[in-house]
């Protein structure tokens, strides 16, 4: 699940939303019939017209200066595997409606992430969503750079995703809400007043909600927390993740969502001093995996060596890429 927050696809969110609204109508302009158009939606309606979006966003700017952000763009892009799951359960048309329902829940999480009084759900926000069915190759895609695809050509596979324009001000046009404010402040009360936004927590909540609502079994390496720890974690955390992946191949029960979540949370919070203590905790825990205690002594150094080798490979690749850019 990819969830991203940007100023605007058009590069400017300090003026009118007209350019962005027009850009997000690009698929509709290729439709022969109005009946085929994807309408804008929010938590209350699913038949919103483009001019209503523009007027709504552009009118909700009380006490914002000319250099202040007026709105933000959220991109909610399920993976190919996630989309295949939705289509297999609900059919393609049903998947579209479920994806819209999911977007409403994501906006609930967006609202709650500000931790502001009177901002509790999507109903407290002014926002408009648009489902898009396709993606197109851009100039910076590797396929365009190597000449195998042309800019503007439609990408293959299932590409359904949601684009959301959300106002900087709340639904009452009185409270400023900016996902760009990631400062933790001097203390809890200060952070609460400033409306701190934790982007990582917000993106993680989207993944969690998707899995819970659609009963989706997410693989270890498909998890956001796994990617973050493999990128920014300690060598010990990476060794534990590598080992966990190996044992999951031998013990299917470890694939159960809540078990994987619990173990990864413990790794994230560094509850396990080393690989051995992680395995002992798993085997002796409440998950009934006592047979792991009968495993031959596990060589923790092997996992660490594997991770160290992978880190060295990445380092050489980055160094080579930097030389090529010069």
Tokens of 295: 């495993």
Same domain flag for 197 and 248: no
pLDDT at 297: 47
Residues 305 and 289: their CA atoms lie apart, in Å, by 26
Output the pLDDT for position 325. 56
Which pLDDT does position 254 carry in this prediction?
Answer: 78
145 in the same domain as 52: yes
Domain boundary among 214, 238, 254: 214
Do 46 and 89 belong to one domain?
yes
Are 99 and 149 contained in the same domain? yes
Position 283 scores a pLDDT of 76
Last residue of a domain, one of 214, 240, 267: 214
Residues 320 and 180 in one domain: no
Q: Which two tokens stand for residue 323?
A: 């030389």
In this structure, the answer to whether residues 12 and 161 fall within a common structural domain is yes
Residue with tokens 């085929």: 36
Q: Which residue, of 214, 230, 264, is where some domain finishes?
A: 214
Q: For every one of its 326 residues, what pLDDT tens digit does the chain have, with 9 covering 90 and above? A: 999 998 876 668 999 999 999 999 999 988 877 778 899 999 999 999 999 999 999 999 999 999 999 999 999 999 999 999 999 999 999 999 999 999 999 999 999 999 998 999 999 999 999 999 998 888 888 899 898 999 989 999 889 999 999 999 999 999 999 998 765 555 555 555 556 789 999 999 999 999 999 999 888 999 999 999 999 999 899 989 988 888 888 777 777 767 888 889 999 999 999 888 888 888 776 555 666 655 554 555 555 666 666 666 766 666 666 665 55
Domain that holds residue 299: 220-325
Q: How far apart are CA 110 and CA 5, in angstroms?
A: 11
Side-by-side strand order, sheet with 71-77: 2-6, 71-77, 161-170, 125-132
Spell out the long-range contacts of 47-52 with Cβ–Cβ below 8 A and sequence spacing 24 or more: 48/128, 50/21, 50/22, 50/25, 52/128
Using only C-alpha atoms, what is the Rg of the chain?
A: 23
Number of domain units in the chain: 2
**Residues 169 and 237 both lie in one domain:** no
Do 67 and 172 have their domain in common? yes
With b for 16 or more beta-carbon neighbours within 10 A and e for fewer, the 275-289 pattern comes to beebbeebbeeebeb
Same-domain check for residues 140 and 9 = yes
Q: Which residues pair with 163 in a beta bridge?
A: 75, 130
Asked if 87 and 154 sit in the same domain, the reply is yes
- Same domain as 203, residue 272: no
Which pTM value belongs to this model?
A: 0.84
Judgement on whether residues 111 and 253 belong to the same structural domain of the protein: no
């Amino acid at each position: 699940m990819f969830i991203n927050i940007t100023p605007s696809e058009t590069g400017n969110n300090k003026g009118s939303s007209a350019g962005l609204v027009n850009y997000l109508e690009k698929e509709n302009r290729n439709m022969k019939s109005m009946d085929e158009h994807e309408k804008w939606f929010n938590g209350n309606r699913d038949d919103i017209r483009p001019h209503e979006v523009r007027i709504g966003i552009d009118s909700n700017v009380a006490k914002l200066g000319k250099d202040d952000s007026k709105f933000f763009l959220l991109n909610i892009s399920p993976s190919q595997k996630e989309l295949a799951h939705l289509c297999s359960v609900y059919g393609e048309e049903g998947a579209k409606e479920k994806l819209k329902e999911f977007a409403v829940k994501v906006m609930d999480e967006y609202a709650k992430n500000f931790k502001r009084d009177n901002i509790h759900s999507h109903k407290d926000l002014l926002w408009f969503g648009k489902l898009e069915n396709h993606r197109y190759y851009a100039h910076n895609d590797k396929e365009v750079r190597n000449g195998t695809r042309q800019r503007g050509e439609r990408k293959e596979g299932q590409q359904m995703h949601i684009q959301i324009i959300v106002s900087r001000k709340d639904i009452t046009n009185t409270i400023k809400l900016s996902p760009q404010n990631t400062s933790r402040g001097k203390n809890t009360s200060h952070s609460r007043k400033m409306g701190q936004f934790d982007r990582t927590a917000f993106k993680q909540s989207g993944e969690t909600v998707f899995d819970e609502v659609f009963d989706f079994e997410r693989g270890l390496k498909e998890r956001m927390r796994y990617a973050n720890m493999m990128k920014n974690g300690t060598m010990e955390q990476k060794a534990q993740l590598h080992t966990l992946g190996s044992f999951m191949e031998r013990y299917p029960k470890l694939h159960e969502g809540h078990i994987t979540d619990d173990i990864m949370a413990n790794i994230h919070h560094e509850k396990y001093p080393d690989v051995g203590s992680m395995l002992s905790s798993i085997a002796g825990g409440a998950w009934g995996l006592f047979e792991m205690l009968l495993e031959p002594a596990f060589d923790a150094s092997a996992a660490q060596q594997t991770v160290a080798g992978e880190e060295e490979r990445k380092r050489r690749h980055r160094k080579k890429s930097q030389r090529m850019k010069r």
